[in-house]
Structure 1
C-alpha cells in the first residue's frame, strides 16, 4: 500500500500551484483531494497551518488594499461566530457524513462557477441581510471543513470592492480564521502531533507558489479556471459517492 500522506503531498503541490495561478482555493482543493484517502479530521490539522503561512504572507504584502471597515464590522464577527458553531458541530459528526456534506458543498460551488463561466454571468449584489446570512453560513462551513471560501465568495458577489481590495480583504479573513482554527486544534490536542508532518510539506508550498507564478504568465486563466472547477466537481462527486 502506498502511504496516503504521499498523496496529500501531491494534493498540496497541485493546490498551491493553482492558488498562485488563479488566486483562490488552495485549502478547498487540497482538502477535497486529500479527503478521498484520509479522514477530514486527520487532514485538517496538517493543512490548515500551511494555509496560515501562505495567507498571512500574502495578506501582509497586500495590507494597503484591505477594507478594514468591511473586515472588522461585518465579515470577521460573523465568520468567527459561525466558525465556532461549525467547529462545535464538527466534533460530533461522523467522518462519512462530513465527507458527504463537504462533497455536496464542493459540487455546488464548482458547478455554479462552471455555469457562470459558460454563460458569462456577472455577479449581482445581494441585499445586506442575505450577505450577512451567507457570511455567517460561510463561517459555519469553515468550522466544519476549513472551507468557508465558496459561501463567502458568494456572499461577497456584486460587492463594490475592486479586485485588489477584495483579494486582500479575503486573505485577511483566511489568515484570521485559520489561525483561530489552528488554536482550536492546539487546545484539542491535534495540532502538535501534526506539526512535524506540516513542516515537511512547507517546501512543497514554496515550489507550488513558484511553479504557479511561472504558469500564471503562460496559461489562459479562464481556461485554467474551467479545468480547476471541473476537477473540483469530479472530486466533490467522488466524495459524495464514497460517503453515501
Structure 2
C-alpha cells in the first residue's frame, strides 16, 4: 500500500532530487539510490514503479543540454544489447517474490559501492585499450537487466564506456541517450506487471517538480561539483540502504 503521507515525501523528495543530480550530471551511476531508499518503505515493485516515470522525466530534461554530444555507434550497440536484458528482467520479476528483490536490490547497492571504491583505489582496473564492440552489446544486456530490476544499469554500462576513454561530457551524453532508451523499453513491461497504479501516478505528479529540480541541478553540477564529493555521499546512502534491504529480505 502506498501512503502519500508526510513521511513518504520526507523520504521520497530528497531521494528524487538526488537521483536527478546523478542522472543529469554524473552518468546515472547513483540515480538508482532513489529506488533503494524507497524500497525501505515500499514494496520493491511499487518503489520501482514510482521511480521509473520520474527517471523518464529526468531523461527528457537532460537530453537537450547534451544533444548531439554522444556517439551514435557506441550508444546504439549498447541500446541493442539492452533489449534482451530488459526481457530477462521482466521474466525474472514475474517469477520472484518481493523479498528476493529486496535482497537483490540491496546486493546491487553494496556491489556498486565496492565497484566505485575499487576503481578509485586501483583494485579494479578497466581495460587500457578500448573493449571490442561485442562487449558493448554484452554490457548493454547486463545494464538492461540490472536497470529493470533495480534501476541500476550505470555500473555495467560504465565498464564499456570508460574503456573508450571518453571526455567527461561525451560519457555523460552517451549515458543520457542509452538510459533514455532503456527506460522506454522498461515502461511497457512495468505497466503489464501492474507496477503503475493511480497512487503511483499521483505520487509522480507530486514528485515531478523535485525530479526537474534535480535534473536542473545536475546539469549545472556537471561543470562545478567534484564527482568525488558527490559519490562519497552516495556510497554512505547505498551501504546503509543496501544493508537494511538485505536484512529485511532475509528476515
Same fold (TM over 0.5): yes
For residue 51 of structure 1, the aligned residue among 55, 59, 67 is: 55
Structure 1 counterpart of 2:97: 94
> Do 2:49 and 2:190's aligned partners in 1 also have CA atoms closer than 8 Å?
yes
Moved more, 41-50 or 150-159: 150-159
Q: Deviations over 1:112-154 (max 9, x none)?
A: 2123223496632545555443332222212222322222222
Over 3 Å counting, the alpha-carbon distance change for 1:3 and 1:38 in structure 2 is farther
Structure 2 counterpart of 1:239: 245
Q: Which runs of 5+ in 1 are unaligned?
A: none
Q: Cα RMSD over matched residues?
A: 2.7
**What's the TM-score, normalizing by structure 1?**
0.85
Q: Which runs of 5+ in 2 are unaligned?
A: none
Over 3 Å counting, the alpha-carbon distance change for 1:117 and 1:198 in structure 2 is same
For residue 139 of structure 1, the aligned residue among 141, 144, 163 is: 144
Q: Deviations over 1:17-56 (max 9, x none)?
A: 4445534335311001111111110111221111111112
Moved more, 11-20 or 41-50: 11-20
Structure 1 counterpart of 2:88: 85
What does 1:1-244 align with in structure 2 at a 5 Å threshold? Answer: 4-6=7-9, 7-19=11-23, 22-25=26-29, 27-72=31-76, 74-119=77-122, 123-124=126-127, 125-126=130-131, 128-191=133-196, 193=198, 194-212=200-218, 219-244=225-250
**What's the TM-score, normalizing by structure 2?**
0.83
Aligned equivalents of 2:158 and 2:118: distance in 1?
15
Q: Deviations over 1:155-196 (max 9, x none)?
A: 333124333222212111111111222222334444352222
The count of aligned residue pairs is 243
> Do 1:15 and 1:25's aligned partners in 2 also have CA atoms closer than 8 Å?
no
